[in-house]
Structure 1
Amino acid sequence: YYRPDEHSPTETWPAMIAAVTDLDGRITGAHRTWLDPRRRDKAPIDTPRRAMGDLLGNAVRFGIDSEVMAAGEGIETVLSLRQVLPDMPMLAALSAAHLAAVLFPDTLRRLYIVRDNDPAGDGARDSLIERANAAGIEAIVISPSLGDFNEDLRSLGLDALRMEARLQVAPQDVARFTALAA
């Protein structure tokens, strides 16, 4: 259900709903993205994305935390990159501000920062690099060709995204986390 404001009638839209969890796997919030059933895109409404709960430091997680993982802003961005790095644990922090403040698992040794190509993404990248380095975690930035990796996937295609990832990820991680290793 979607309601633009408290005075508007409730509308029904399909939605992608994701749990926001802390480092122990406890659900701390939820994120909703309403979808347009006629197109492969977000619903044509004022706020197609909404999150609630305890979000700061927490994230939507894909895979189990390990010594190597990737962290990005949006769910679509992270899931797009996961198309070519399917075995790498990833998390979506839901905004640039939340990405900059994401909490690190104790096991983390290398963090891929999946940045959006905008000023907010630059700020999140810089903050996360500083925090990771202070914690003894190697930080590697992965940058899209366009605005974000979802835009790259949709506009440039899977093969282009695969090449982008292959060129920016450490060679040992390409072999470990993709199906490209021969």
Structure 2
Amino acid sequence: MKKTNKLSAAETGELLKTLKTRFEKNMNRHKGLDWTAVQAKLEAQPDKCRSLQKMEETGGEPDVVGYDKKTNEFTFFDCSAESPKGRRSLCFDHDALESRKEFKPADSAINMAADMGVDILTETEYRELQQLGQFDLKTSSWVSTPADIRKLGGAVFCDRRYNTVFLYHNGAESYYAARGFRCSLKV
């Protein structure tokens, strides 16, 4: 992945084209919102385009899921059917990664999210996403973990089974091929 904070003009153009196509195909996710306003915000914030590009490159299929009138910000979530393929097999955070003595995963969800310039979904955001469709029917996604749980060595994740969204716990150092994380980005 690129380490620069800016995409080239060609990369930005391709990203905007991809995002616009997805936006127009999934109007149920952002009723009443206009792509022109979203694009203007993105063009004014190249660092956000870089983050969206990283979400795209790792299989997240980011899309607009809301707009906050108070802050004048659009919210993007990963809307891939399953937890993004390029962000799986990760333990929860850096401390969990460091605690593994052998068979360490390549990275942690929190480290990777920070590198991408995004936030990992909260449980509330994850449940909001599930109102827009059915996600993680075969995979699961780490979600932001309360400090008191993390302090005791745990972390939480969610998935959708039996037409219900479940919240589970695991040791923060655990990682599985079918568990990744989903991102949130405000623009």
TM-score by length of 2: 0.29
TM-score by length of 1: 0.30
Larger helix proportion, structure 1 or 2?
2
